[in-house]
Amino acid sequence: MLSGLSKLAQPLLLMMPPEQAHEMTLKALEQGIYPRGSGAIDPRLAVNAFGLEFPNPVGIAPGFDKDARVPDAILGIGSGYAEIGTITPLPQVGNPQPRVFRLIQDRAVINRLGFNNGGHDAAYGRLSARARRGIVGVNIGANKDSPDRTADYITGIGRFAGVADYFTVNISSPNTPGLRDLQAPAALDELLGRVMEARERFIAGGSPRVPVLVKIAPDIAEADIEPVIGGMLAHNIDGIIVGNTTLSRHGIKDAATGREAGGLSGTPLFQRSTVMLAKVAQVTGGRVPLIGVGGISSGETALAKIEAGASLLQLYTCLIYEGVGLIGRINEELATAVTAAGAKNLSELVGRRRDHWARQPVEV
Ligand SMILES: Cc1cc2nc3c(=O)[nH]c(=O)nc-3n(C[C@H](O)[C@H](O)[C@H](O)COP(=O)(O)O)c2cc1C
């Protein structure tokens, strides 16, 4: 019944301004009003990555629960894991509203939120109060006005080490001026050097060893992929997330809304982010697990990400249009794909069309 209700709620939510609809969704989840799903839909979908056992590969991407208000509800609707954030050390209001725009025809969103969040203390309070059940990653960022952005990431690692199952170092949001510059090889080398050294120090001080992943933009120039990814591997990071929203507006129908500044997500991001994922997979050659994100809207698109090289998946924008039932449908279709391939489990399908995807064109 509740899943029927959520189907009814979706068109109503789409009639409201995006941020208001989002707040209503979070409030409903906080009050336990959501359809229950089983995270462990089919044992063949379980994924072992970064030393963690994920019951299924479908996670909810950061941005949905920026302040760790509803990680257990996210797990309760049947996701394999949740990633909360981006959290910055100090609370931040973000950019002036309006700053989230739906492109309904395109099944897309443009956002320029600018890391609006309640800061480390508020999120830490919520995470430390919950029972640790299910996998919850913490996505950390830097304050817009921080005098030392690298120090902000290190503070995040120290603060959340006791409550995070993994960390994502987010250097790919287009909405904090200059943040993406941290992806340049020299800046990245210095950032990851300090972050990984800090993690070792925290471990030596008694903190648990929490895997560190890096989330990149899908807009990295072809020639930069190898040095950027090579630099990450040199620092022994645990995984890479491909990727964040894009600045490209290629292929969108709603040209008027498309002129809004910010990062584009949803269906038009699928091709670009999947090709980037495959190219990253070629460089990593299986040395670290990859998380595929960008425009997942169905079992078919989820399977494509797996075949391009992702061990795990995340989605956000298409949930806005399809509702949370999409998570269960994707898992069912992935299980069907495992059967159709005659494979023992989903992990056997990872990267089997990597080179095909890496050859596909990406329009600017
Ligand atoms: C409204 C909105 C807010 C987002 N906020 C964040 C964020 O705070 N941190 C982050 O790493 N990614 C953020 N993202 C990016 C998503 O996590 C994801 O990488 C991107 O939307 C592509 O996936 P999708 O096409 O399934 O939405 C945000 C996306 C949207 C639409």
Probe target for ligand 1 pocket from 99, 245, 270, 272, with the most ligand atoms within 8 Å of CB:
245
The bridge status of strand 312-315 relative to strand 58-60 is parallel
DSSP labels for 18-51? Answer: HHHHHHHHHHHHHTT-S----S-S-GGG-EEETT
Atom 28 in ligand 1: residue holding the nearest Cα: 63
Probe target for ligand 1 pocket from 247, 265, 296, with the most ligand atoms within 8 Å of CB:
265
Does ligand 1 lie within 6 Å of residue 269's CB atom?
yes
pLDDT of residue 37: 80
In sequence order, the 6+-apart residues with CB closer than 8 A to the CB of 141 are 85, 86, 87, 88, 115, 152, 153, 156, 170, 173, 176, 179
Atom 21 in ligand 1: residue holding the nearest Cα: 265
Give the Å distance between the CA of 63 and the centre of ligand 1.
5
pLDDT of residue 34: 85
CB 299 within 8 Å of CB 345: no
Backbone angles phi, psi at 101, to 5 degrees: -130, 130
Q: Helix or strand or coil: residue 326?
A: helix
Does ligand 1 lie within 6 Å of residue 139's CB atom?
yes
Does ligand 1 lie within 6 Å of residue 294's CB atom?
yes
245: preceding bond cis by omega (within 30 degrees): no
pLDDT of residue 19: 96
Give the Å distance between the CA of 320 and the centre of ligand 1.
12
Structure tokens at 207: 């903190």
Atom 26 in ligand 1: residue holding the nearest Cα: 315
Of 138, 174, 173, nearest in space to 156 by CA: 138
Q: Which atom of ligand 1 is nearest to the CA of 314?
A: 26
The whole-model pTM stands at: 0.97
Q: Which atom of ligand 1 is nearest to the CA of 241?
A: 19
Does ligand 1 lie within 6 Å of residue 245's CB atom?
yes
CB 126 within 8 Å of CB 68: yes
Does ligand 1 lie within 6 Å of residue 271's CB atom?
no
The type of residue at 64 is: F
pLDDT of residue 3: 47
pLDDT of residue 6: 63
Give the Å distance between the CA of 51 and the centre of ligand 1.
25
pLDDT of residue 207: 87
Neighbours of 228 (CB within 10 A): 21
Does ligand 1 lie within 6 Å of residue 265's CB atom?
yes
Q: Which atom of ligand 1 is nearest to the CA of 109?
A: 31
Q: Which atom of ligand 1 is nearest to the CA of 270?
A: 25
Structure tokens at 277: 């994922």
CB 137 within 8 Å of CB 75: no
What is the full per-residue pLDDT of the chain (364 aa) written as tens digits? 344 446 667 888 998 999 999 999 999 999 998 888 876 679 999 999 999 999 999 999 999 999 999 999 999 999 999 999 999 999 999 999 999 999 999 999 999 999 999 999 999 999 999 998 999 999 999 999 999 999 999 999 999 999 999 999 999 888 888 888 887 888 999 999 999 999 999 898 888 899 999 999 999 999 999 999 999 999 999 999 999 999 999 999 999 999 999 999 999 999 999 999 999 999 999 999 999 999 999 999 999 999 999 999 999 999 999 999 999 999 999 999 999 999 999 999 999 999 999 999 987 7
Exposed e or buried b per residue across 196-225, where buried means at least 16 C-beta atoms within 10 angstroms of its C-beta = bebbeebeeeebeebbbbbbbbbbbeeeeb
Q: Which atom of ligand 1 is nearest to the CA of 172?
A: 11
Does ligand 1 lie within 6 Å of residue 100's CB atom?
yes
CB 33 within 8 Å of CB 9: no
Neighbours of 129 (CB within 10 A): 9
CA distances from 326 to 166, 259, 300 (A): 25, 29, 12
Atom 4 in ligand 1: residue holding the nearest Cα: 63
Q: Which atom of ligand 1 is nearest to the CA of 115?
A: 8
d(CA 182, CA 344): 40
pLDDT of residue 7: 65
Structure tokens at 349: 């399908």
Does ligand 1 lie within 6 Å of residue 315's CB atom?
yes
Does ligand 1 lie within 6 Å of residue 80's CB atom?
no
d(CA 221, CA 233): 18
Catalytic residues: 173
d(CA 206, CA 227): 34
Does ligand 1 lie within 6 Å of residue 63's CB atom?
yes
